Amino acid sequence: MKSFLLNIFNDRIVSPWWILLIDLVIAINAFVIAFTLRLGTRLDTVPVSDLFLVAAWVVLIYLISFFVFRSYKGVIRHSSYNELKILVISCFSAFVCLSFVNLIVKGFNLPWIKVPNLILVIHFLLTAILTFVFRVVVKETYSLLTKKRKTKNIYIYGAGVMGQITLEAITSDKENQYNIVGFIDDDPSKKGVILQSIPVVSWEKALKSAEVKEIEEIILAINNIDVQRKYDITDECLRRNWKLKVMPSVGNWVNGISNNRQIRDIRIEDILGREEIKLDQLKIMDGLEGKVVMVTGAAGSIGSEIVRQLLKFPVKKILLVDVAESPLYDLQQELLLSHYDIPFETILVSVTNEKRMEEVFLQFQPNLIFNAAAYKHVPLLEKFPYEAIRVNIGGTRILARLAVKYGIEKFVMISTDKAVNPTNVMGASKRICEIFIQSLSQKKGIKTSFITTRFGNVLGSNGSVVPLFKKQIDRGGPVTVTHPDITRYFMTIPEACQLVLEAGFMGKGGEIFVFDMGEPVKIKNLAEEMIRLAGLKVGQDIEIKYTGLRPGEKLTEELLASKENTLPTHHDKIMIGQVRDHDFKQVNESINNLVQLLSEETTENLVIRMKELVPEFISNNSIYSELDKKEVLI
């Protein structure tokens, strides 16, 4: 029998006309029942012809209403709340129409048009209920027939809107293997409430009854939750060997639709992220409205997220500048699929090509620049300082000079905490960029507002430890950590880019904005947490292997040099770094010499000249450490 019913359900989708016919049959039978209930023993006094005419008139109005609202469309076995709502609205509209006709024909002798109001009420209720029940029975029968035998007992953490959306997403998926035991909510007013036949309990009660109920998984379905609370929940789930999953917020749904496949495993970014950032939306909007915005390094992790953030504002056009062909193409396709209404241009060009970059400025006339183009891998640039100078310093200098030449309103440069007391070539190159930008902004007659933003590592960015650790865990280990005591500041990519936008429209020019990165994280602890999140045990399933510090790497990063202080801003996560001033003429001359000598100087001499520009640049664990003991070239 089950196989027969499954064949009926799976092999075909019933024509909408059959559904309409069934609805009409229900409406006819409902009218007969309503008429019988109303007249009772006096039913035999009504001529059959009159009953037929009245029934035909009523059913005709319902038929028209079904047509208008298209309540018969859709696949019955997948009926959603919205479809059922449309069904009730169509029945109610027919009832209102018939009642209105009753008022108009009052006093006219048209017995086949006028229907007693009580019969109309009973008929409306019966039709709405029976058509509704028909759909629910079909849907539940199909769900019961297709439900897998092996299910997981789970709790949904959050009994609000997101929790109920999660419930709907799970129950509407025929492949779903979840048995929802209950909702968990921290709101005392919701405890003991029943939502769609499912009880709401406290976290403490859920933990006490978990063993009896054989809980295997928790789905976190809360838009705004305290980060520490999220961490505590994660820790408890890992301790009990429960899987913890997350229902993404509405803004992150694929194609704006919620479904069971949107529910994903919790990631390290979810528990290391911090409280939601409150941006000065009006100020940012005023600064971006109607503007052509250039983003260099647009295909990178930071650049692409800046682009995504910009798409939320009324910009005139976004220029996506990058030299990496494949990532730029991928970003282009992403925007075409999800933000086709925002004008943008993909521009394949290197920021080190001054002639081509000037052509871009002339053609598109940008108003604002977010400069995220840079080489950033410490060990590689330690080996190839030529590229750090050519791209990081040379590219920034070209962009800054063009910004001044073409009257760009604002130039925002992305820097790094590695620029503070640099111990490697990469950090020193970014510090030189900071010095150049800041000194240029102090020249008389400069109309461009130059802003520098400085922050630490971003979780999940290209080349960061998080994707590296994930690959190593997927391969079965070992997870490689350079040193057991190494620490880093971390921030999520969206958080960093939101603060870049905020700082970009906060400064007047020449400031270095330092972001509050929170507490530093031990990389060893990060690795252990990622192993646990993967459902594995440290030391048993996955080993952690210490490989030693890499060239140019230091144990701890700093956001401010020892001689620097900060000033507060109106945003509690953004501070202004008080750094020493530099004379532009001297800085520009030194950088000119450095760039011009790229093809002539040895690698060693290039690094020596970088140390001249940045006296606090002391190499660490590097082949250039010996240079700090020698007399610097003049």
For residue 228, what pLDDT band results from cuts at 50, 70 and 90?
A: confident
Above 90 in pLDDT, residue 363?
yes
* Cβ neighbour number for residue 96 with a 10 Å cutoff: 14
What is the reported pLDDT for 239? 82
pLDDT digits (tens, 9 = 90+) for 19-71: 778 888 888 888 788 777 766 545 555 555 556 777 777 878 888 888 887 77
Rg (CA), the chain: 33
Q: Is 239 exposed, middle or buried (0-12, 13-18, 19+ CB in 10 A)?
A: exposed
Annotated catalytic residue 230? no
Q: CB of 455 within 8 A of CB of 515?
A: yes
pLDDT digits (tens, 9 = 90+) for 449-483: 999 888 877 776 666 787 888 888 888 889 999 88
The pLDDT mean for the chain works out to 80
Q: Is 16 exposed, middle or buried (0-12, 13-18, 19+ CB in 10 A)?
A: middle
Q: Look up residue 18 and give its two tokens.
A: 């059959």
Q: CB of 165 within 8 A of CB of 227?
A: no
Question: Using CA atoms in the order 489, 494, 495, 500, what is the torsion angle rounded to 10 degrees?
Answer: 100
Least confident of 294-308, 335-349, 436-450: 335-349
What is the reported pLDDT for 385? 93
Q: Which residues contact 294 (CB under 8 A, 6 or more apart)?
A: 318, 319, 321, 360, 364, 366, 368, 369, 370
What is the reported pLDDT for 256? 41
Cis omega (within 30 of 0) for bond into 615: no
Q: Which amino acid is it at 380?
A: L
Q: CB of 512 within 8 A of CB of 579?
A: yes
What is the reported pLDDT for 166? 83
Above 90 in pLDDT, residue 408?
yes
What is the reported pLDDT for 407? 92
Half-sphere exposure of 405 (CA within 13 A, CB side): 13
With a pLDDT cut of 70, the percent of the chain lying above it is 82
DSSP state letters, 127-163: HHHHHHHHHHHHHHHHHHHH--S--EEEEEE--SHHH
Q: Which amino acid is it at 506?
A: M
For the ranges 75-89, 276-290, 335-349, the maximum mean pLDDT occurs at 335-349
For residue 81, what pLDDT band results from cuts at 50, 70 and 90?
A: low
**Cα–Cα distance between 231 and 438 in angstroms, integer?**
40
pLDDT digits (tens, 9 = 90+) for 552-610: 787 887 766 545 576 777 776 777 777 778 888 888 899 988 888 888 888 898 999 99
Above 90 in pLDDT, residue 371?
yes
What is the reported pLDDT for 134? 80
What is the reported pLDDT for 633? 45
Question: Using CA atoms in the order 575, 576, 577, 579, what is the torsion angle rounded to 10 degrees?
Answer: -170
**Cα–Cα distance between 202 and 184 in angstroms, integer?**
5
pLDDT digits (tens, 9 = 90+) for 249-275: 644 443 444 445 567 777 777 776 666
Above 70 in pLDDT, residue 632?
no
Indicate which residue of 230, 418, 554, 573 is catalytic.
Answer: 418
Q: Which residues pair with 412 in a beta bridge?
A: 370, 451
> Which ranges of 293-373 does DSSP label H, i.e. alpha helix?
301-310, 325-338, 354-364
b vs e for 556-567, b when ≥16 Cβ sit within 10 Å of the residue's Cβ? Answer: ebbbbbeebebe
* Cβ neighbour number for residue 325 with a 10 Å cutoff: 11
**Cα–Cα distance between 631 and 612 in angstroms, integer?**
11
Above 90 in pLDDT, residue 314?
no
pLDDT digits (tens, 9 = 90+) for 147-169: 554 578 888 888 888 888 888 87
